[in-house]
Amino acid sequence: MIKIRLRTDIALEELALERMISNEKININEVFLDAIKAKELNKKEGTYVTIDFSNLLTKEFMQEDIREQVSDVLAHFFTLMDIKKDDTVLICGLGNDQVTPDALGPIVCENVIVTNHFFVLDIQHDFIRPVTSFIPGVMGQTGMESSDMLKSLVESYKPSLVIVVDALATRSINRICKSIQITDAGINPGSGVKNKRKEISKDVLNTKVLAIGIPTVCDLEVIINDVLKQALMETSYDLDKIYDEYIKGQFSYMVTLKDIDDLIIDMADIVAISLNKVLHNI
């Protein structure tokens, strides 16, 4: 039994879960972490849903059924959170638009339909939900915590729901840009790459928070561990001991895929289309 704990933002990868919904293309897993389990896994208490399509070829995930699955999960959370038609929704795109694997949030915000200005201008809005968006950048660009900036906006606009979109780290190279995690537990920006910033959650913002994350990088140690596990499968070598003595802490690198430029755009498109569908019924 491998005991190594490699870094990940994906709750699914910390737990042995049964598939909630499954077909040839998509697996959906849902788990609720209570206070005890959340503390054990160093995550926030809440519901985590993972839409996984890691079995698909790279370009197959742009098919309509995957976007439908994402939209269905978002709609499910909206029902749980009792978000009404005239409730204001603030979408926050975390990340650095100058670094491709970290640009997911900003790209999503650029493609969601914002409508709050119709309300500000008192234009007819019978069938429009007020939506705002915000791209806070990263501390290296602004010198400010995204959580602090977002809290100020929430105090000003008083949205009923904040949707936070961010890139995540995974412990499976096959999951990069091939799964989506949606949770009501909030998010700790940068935690997967050991650059942990202030959390963004209901406890901090005093309003409902929905976090949407997509894994875009994994630790180099993950790849080394996977290769060793495969190579030593039929041997008596102690992989835990090898990892502790020769690998752990020696490789401070996060890696991604060579076609990440296209993948980020594709994944941002899936999220933005799903958000527009759920928020505006289009």
pLDDT digits (tens, 9 = 90+) for 201-229: 999 999 999 999 999 999 888 788 778 87
CA nearest 272: which of 127, 150, 105, 117? 105
- Per the document, the length of the chain is 282
pLDDT for the residue numbered 62: 56
Are the C-beta atoms of 216 and 260 separated by less than 8 Å? yes
CA nearest 146: which of 125, 162, 129? 162
Whether the per-residue pLDDT at 71 is higher than 50: the answer is yes
User: The domain 11-219+257-280 is classified under which CATH number: 3.40.50.1450, 3.40.190.80, 3.10.450.50, 3.40.50.300?
Assistant: 3.40.50.1450
Q: What confidence category does residue 19 fall into, taking pLDDT thresholds of 50, 70 and 90?
A: very low
Q: Which of 59-73, 109-123, 145-159 is the least confident region?
A: 59-73
Whether the per-residue pLDDT at 54 is higher than 50: the answer is yes
35-44, 51-60, 149-158, 234-243, range with greatest mean pLDDT: 149-158
pLDDT digits (tens, 9 = 90+) for 157-188: 999 999 999 999 998 888 899 999 999 999 98
pLDDT for the residue numbered 144: 92
Q: What's the Rg (C-alpha) of the chain?
A: 19
Residues 6+ apart with CB under 8 A from 57: none
Rounded distance between C-alpha atoms, residue 151 and residue 218, angstroms: 29
Element (H, E) at 260: helix 260-280
Provide DSSP, 34-75. -HHHHHHHT--SEEEEEEE-TTS-TTGGGSHHHHHHHHHHHH
Are the C-beta atoms of 194 and 7 separated by less than 8 Å? yes
Q: Residue 47 to residues 43, 76, 147: CA-CA distances in angstroms?
A: 11, 12, 21
CA nearest 197: which of 268, 249, 137, 267? 137
